[in-house]
Amino acid sequence: MNSFAFHPGTTPLLISMPHNGAAIPEDIAAVMQPHACVSDDTDWYMDRLYDFAAKLGIGVINPTYSRYVIDLNRAPDGAILYAGANNTELCPTTAFDLSPLYLPGQEPDQLEVERRIETYWRPYHTQLAAELARLKNKFGYALLYDAHSIRSEVPRFFDGRLWDLNLGTADGASCARELQNRLADVALSARDYTAVVNGRFKGGYITRHYGQPEQGVHAVQLELSQITYLDEDSHHWREDKVAGIQPVLRRLVETMLEWRPAG
């Protein structure tokens, strides 16, 4: 089984969905707790939510395997994303609710982590980097939209209910200020939804690493509250909710396509 799916587009924009995968290889599942094999902390149905991307000429890359196997949105050296906050590891050992993912004594050691980097992490990032380079060479700049979602309430990471739309640009470092402002206008004006820019989620490794506006690569992350499109307990797709939030997501993406860097 391929570790990711990639569909190139015809525009300067690439959508990455690093936590969309839910599969777990048999050898890893064999040493996990039974509940871990459900991949409960998946960013469910990102590919369905952004199914309009192909019609807009946008490229998409998303993984096959769960973030429980390896987190594609973490640095390969395991560097912490949010200092002073609770962070998950490159190869997580606990779920978001802090329950153990592995059978006792079966947590991945350093050799296993390195194997997973080479098997799952590096191929995704090699393709991601290559496509951004291709887009920049073709258009003179490249755009990256990192699509995520999370339960609306996760006490491990934040108090209370999360904003519906959480736009992250590494505090303005990962994209041009004008692009951030245009996206913020869309998110903050979305009727019936709450929004914040660079709140609890400012962008993970992908946004921070690839977003280099001075080099012509502009990256943003959207962390979407799953209550906007799912029944969060069953992970059931709610068409009635999707009908409301999907046009907002499309408008965010279209705003990126409409934008051009100065000069």
Q: Are 26 and 81 in contact (CB under 8 A)?
A: no
For Cα atoms 14, 18, 23, give the angle at the middle one, nearest 5 degrees. 130
Q: Are 179 and 262 in contact (CB under 8 A)?
A: no
The residue to which tokens 């019936």 are assigned: 192
Per-residue confidence (pLDDT) for residue 84, from 0 to 100 = 63
> Which tens digits make up the pLDDT trace of 236-254?
999 999 999 999 999 999 9
Q: Which residues span the domain enclosing 133?
A: 4-258
**H and E: helices and strands count for the chain:** 7, 9
Q: Is residue 90 part of a domain?
A: yes
Q: Is the pLDDT of residue 86 over 70?
A: no
Per-residue confidence (pLDDT) for residue 83, from 0 to 100 = 65
How many domains does the chain contain in total? 1
Q: Is residue 210 part of a domain?
A: yes
Distance of CA 162 to the CA centre of its chain: 16
What Å distances lie between residue 159 and 41, 153, 195, CA to CA?
A: 18, 8, 16
> Which tens digits make up the pLDDT trace of 159-207?
999 999 999 999 999 999 999 999 999 999 999 999 999 998 999 999 9
Q: Is residue 239 part of a domain?
A: yes
Per-residue confidence (pLDDT) for residue 67, from 0 to 100 = 97
Q: Is residue 215 part of a domain?
A: yes
By CB atoms closer than 10 A (0-12, 13-18, 19+), residue 262 is exposed
User: Count of residues for the chain?
Assistant: 263
Q: Is residue 263 part of a domain?
A: no
* Whole-number Å distance between alpha carbons of 5 and 124: 9
Q: How many CB atoms lie within 10 A of CB 92?
A: 22
Q: Is residue 174 part of a domain?
A: yes
Q: Is residue 111 part of a domain?
A: yes
pLDDT bucket at 88, cuts 50 / 70 / 90: confident
Which domain CATH number covers 143?
3.40.630.40
What is the pLDDT of the chain when averaged over all its residues? 95
Per-residue confidence (pLDDT) for residue 91, from 0 to 100 = 96
Q: Is residue 82 part of a domain?
A: yes
Non-local CB neighbours of 160 within 8 Å, separated by 6+ positions: 153
Task: Give the pTM.
Answer: 0.96
